[in-house]
Amino acid sequence: MITVDRLPVPPKPKRPKAVLFGWLIAAAVVAAHVIAWDATDVSFGALVEGWEGMADFLGEAIPPDLSWKVLGPSLSGALVTLWIGLLGTALSIPLSLLPALAAAKGTAPSAWVYQASRAVLSFLRAVPDVVFALIFVTAVGLGPFPGVLALVCHNVGVMGKLWAEALEDADPGPPQALRSAGAGRIQVAVHALFPSVLPQLAGLLMYRFDVNVRSSLVLGLVGAGGIGFLINQSIKLFKFDEMLTHILVVVVLVVAVDRLSATVRARLSREETR
């Protein structure tokens, strides 16, 4: 019996240009980190030297003040923070639908509408919600209302983009079938497109609700109400034990909202796979 020895397959030669390009990318990444390190004044030595200040801060904050005089307003502020996140999410739903349809390639009526919608969503997404809050605080005054308006503006940009991408990734079969039957754009969107991506849209909405509740906490630091305002007030008055109480309430609120959002998204995922 004749045996045939298998020769090893020679390795594919690497192209010199590809290797050089890889080294250039690696060098650029390293250089960017070196510049960022220097520009941000990162110094672990300064962190170690400041341990006494941190120890004094923690010593004044612990134990937290759990008296009802502090805990009552803290719980009330946490509810206001929750309502800001809820309304900021809910009110942005109808305002996000039309830009999402116009920013999706399969539903945009024309190329210029597609580009214009993408530009508007990019602008709303690029401006931080804190900046929107500062603008609305100067317009309508302090309180939760400017926080709601700020979340609506920023959330429309984020959610509109996420929904547009979900619409673009939808199964093209049902929409094409309706178009071939003579259905218009609105009929295709309502009867074929939205039903096929509804679980994804709802999951993204719940994710944004989770994020918006946490964002509304930061908005309170600039005068938009809620428990963030109480935290800022406690810091300015050097009442760090009260500050810690507010932070603990925030932790409970964020964990509860996170668990609710995760449960709803998991339920939607199971319904989608059936």
What pLDDT tens digit does each residue of the chain (274 aa) get? 555 556 566 666 556 677 778 888 999 999 999 999 888 888 787 777 777 777 887 887 888 888 888 889 899 988 998 999 999 999 998 898 888 888 887 777 788 888 998 999 999 999 988 889 888 888 888 888 988 999 999 999 999 898 888 887 776 666 667 667 666 666 666 666 777 777 788 888 888 888 888 888 888 878 777 888 888 888 888 888 888 898 899 889 888 888 888 887 777 666 666 6
Q: How far is CA 81 from CA 52, 70, 129, 239, in A?
A: 33, 16, 14, 21
Phi-psi region of 182 (alpha: psi -120 to 50; beta: other; left: phi over 0): left
Q: How far is CA 175 from CA 9, 96, 168, 252, in A?
A: 49, 21, 12, 44
For the chain, give the number of residues. 274
Among residues 210, 253, 221, 261, the alpha carbon closest in space to that of 76 is found at 253
Among residues 207, 227, 205, 208, the alpha carbon closest in space to that of 218 is found at 227
Assigned CATH for 65-273? 1.10.3720.10
Delimit the domains of the chain by residue range. 65-273
pLDDT the model gives residue 185: 67
Q: What is the pLDDT of residues 103-159, one digit of tens each?
A: 887 777 788 888 998 999 999 999 988 889 888 888 888 888 988 999 999 999 999
Q: Say whether the peptide bond before residue 175 is cis (omega within 30 degrees of 0).
A: no
pTM: 0.77
